[in-house]
Structure 1
Amino acid sequence: MSINRIWLVSLGIILLLVLIDRAQALDSVVFTANALATTAPYLLLSIFIAAWAGATGADNLIAGAFSGSPLVMIGLAAVAGGFSPFCSCGVIPLIAALLAMNVPLSAVMAFWLASPIMDPSMFVLTTGVIGLEFAVAKTLAALGLGITGGLVVHALTISGGLTDPLRPGIGSGGCGGRKVRDPQPVIWRFWTDADRRAKFFKEARSITLFLARWLTLAFLLESLMLAFVPAESVTALLGGTGVGPTAIATLVGVPAYLNGYAALPLVGGLLEQGMAPGAGLAFLVAGGVTSIPAALAVWALVRLPVFALYIALSLGGAFTIGLLYTAWTAL
């Protein structure tokens, strides 16, 4: 069995530290182990939630968000994006399926903007790593960005813009598409079905390995950041209540964002060193929606006007959300 490249990166960092600073290597390993142990209860709960959603078929409930009047669909789609656990292969194929089936772009955009920011597993881990207030703010940010983006697209669509959003040749395949085209019933008592029990354990194993490798790397990087990045530098660049720190965090979030789960410990460490809370939230929102891998996937799927609007809504929304949260925390 080949070793995942994320594990290799973590191992490489530790070996490099052993060569140049053996004491820091030991400190980083201890820091990472302690951080993983501290977040273990939240980690286990998030794994259970995600595996349970897959085994019961609760993620199929997302199909109900894309029916009704356009305004109702926008609200439901934002909620579905912000609260529904979704399989890792599903987001991009799902968007293609929705658009190919002529679901209004406004509802699709609402889901698309809200989905990368928050889900139940992310909420639990955000609470454990940063705090409940920040997790609630991030959830509200997901809903607010999704609804606002959907309403903007709805207004543009009514005026005659944004027709035929998909690039030529884009189909509607993928497991995400099937959830909408052919939603399956939810079986809450999944343990009574052998196949669903097997799916639960398979999902739990897959999610455990995914979170373990990303959080190990994230806590390792956090240990290096705390060791080598002066707190006063972070405070000077990203602290305070002005628009500058939030704008910088919004723009930096695009190339620097690793993964929704991996970013949490990094932002937690920056907040401890003086980063403004609003800047931290802006980083997570902007990075989640417009990280380079996500942006490339969107680019490959939709025409240029839709892609440009997606980026503008993401960055503009993240910046505004950061300012609002900074104002709230200053009260």
Structure 2
Amino acid sequence: MIQRFADWLVYDIFGLSADTSLGIAVNFFFYDTVKILILLFFISVLMGIINAYFPIERLRNYLVTHKMYGLQYLLASLFGAITPFCSCSSIPLFIGFVKGGIPLGVTFAFLITSPLVNEVAVAMFLGSFGLKVTLIYVISGILLGVIGGFVLGKMNLSPYLSDWVRQIQADSSAQADEWEKEHISFFKRLPSIVRDAWRIVRGVLIYILIGIGIGAFMHGFVPEGFFEAYLSKDNWLAVPLSVIFAVPMYANAAGIVPVIQVFVAKGIPMGTAIAFMMAVVGLSLPEATLLKKVMTWRLIGIFFGTVALFIILSGYLFNLIL
């Protein structure tokens, strides 16, 4: 329905052609803007309900006080793998974890894995590349979240969260205490939950529009064959270049699988293609612009740099074994 709306608006009302780069870019912009705003709002409402009723304080205390020997990172990464969200729509869940006081490294484990692995992409990978490549991709995506979350968690990065998130944490804690004392019913809590969800969406709206605009430009105006010219198997810098090329783009895992299939068919090594895919869905500029509302630029740089390094190493490893 959203795609039909975007087609009607861009091609019928605006009069742009679906065969032009401008038409494709504008259509992408409106489609993804509407889709992401709807997702952001409803996921924010869902997280508000979870934060209101789920004993997240108990979970936080359990994670902090018990020695889980890294299991908490694996659980967060597995949760990210089974949630069908792209990088931008994973942000409200990330905010919800931070609001609840879940350790930052654990939230990063979720944030890394969530856009990389989902059931639609797994099914498409299985049909396109077979069981072996699919298993390697899924396991590596989960391990990337576990290792990345563990490493980031050891860096004491909480001081680099934005003041906006800190205020949300304070407001959430005060509100939860009030509801707990007064035993307020769900229907009385719901208006406040919806207002908080809209406040989150409104707070990140400008970053969403800027990020999707960047992605739309790349989607519509990058020349055909541009990537294949630089990512051939003869270029030993192909893996890091694939990550660099991927960062300005934006797509979910399911949307980028057909592109990866074309890359491999044209001779780009599988590891390079997978590194490109991971960077597109997990390190996009739209994600960075959205994260700016949640993190300082320093924290975004540390997060992107750490994950990019692991993706590059994974790409070289995949090229050796595949």
* TM-score, structure 2 as length reference: 0.61
> Residues 104-137 of structure 1, C-alpha deviation per residue, up to 9 Å, x if partnerless?
1110111111111002222112222443333222
Cα shift at 1:101: 1.9
**Is the CA contact (8 Å cut-off) linking 1:65 and 1:76 kept in structure 2?**
no
**Is the CA contact (8 Å cut-off) linking 1:117 and 1:138 kept in structure 2?**
no
Match of 1:29 in 2: none
Match of 1:306 in 2: 299
Distance 1:65 1:322 in 2: 35
Distance 1:155 1:265 in 2: 37
Match of 2:240 in 1: 247
Task: Give 5+ residue unaligned stretches, structure 1.
Answer: 18-53, 55-59, 179-220
1:141 aligns with 2:136: no
1:5 aligns with 2:10: no
Residue from 271, 275, 295 that aligns with 2:268: 275
Distance 1:89 1:289 in 2: 9
Distance 1:8 1:168 in 2: 38
Match of 1:49 in 2: none
Match of 1:166 in 2: 161
Q: Identify if the C-alpha distance between structure 1 residues 315 and 88 changes in structure 2 by more than 3 Å, giving closer, same or farther.
A: closer
What aligned pairs does 1:150-299 form with structure 2 within 5 A after superposition? 150-157=149-156, 162-170=157-165, 171=168, 229=225, 234=228, 237-240=230-233, 243-299=236-292
Distance 1:246 1:7 in 2: 39
> Which amino acid letter does the alignment assign opposite residue 150 of structure 1?
G
What aligned pairs does 1:17-166 form with structure 2 within 5 A after superposition? 67-68=62-63, 69=67, 71-86=70-85, 91-157=90-156, 162-166=157-161
> Which amino acid letter does the alignment assign opposite residue 6 of structure 2?
R
Question: What is the aligned residue count?
Answer: 236
**Is the CA contact (8 Å cut-off) linking 1:257 and 1:263 kept in structure 2?**
no
Q: Identify if the C-alpha distance between structure 1 residues 16 and 121 changes in structure 2 by more than 3 Å, giving closer, same or farther.
A: closer
Q: Identify if the C-alpha distance between structure 1 residues 91 and 257 changes in structure 2 by more than 3 Å, giving closer, same or farther.
A: closer
Cα shift at 1:243: 3.4
The alignment's C-alpha RMSD in Å is: 4.0
> Which amino acid letter does the alignment assign opposite residue 164 of structure 2?
G
Match of 1:315 in 2: 308
Q: Which 4+ residue blocks in structure 1 deviate beyond 6 angstroms?
A: 6-11, 63-66
Cα shift at 1:4: 3.6
**Is the CA contact (8 Å cut-off) linking 1:65 and 1:73 kept in structure 2?**
no
Q: Identify if the C-alpha distance between structure 1 residues 15 and 237 changes in structure 2 by more than 3 Å, giving closer, same or farther.
A: closer
* TM-score, structure 1 as length reference: 0.60
Cα shift at 1:261: 2.0
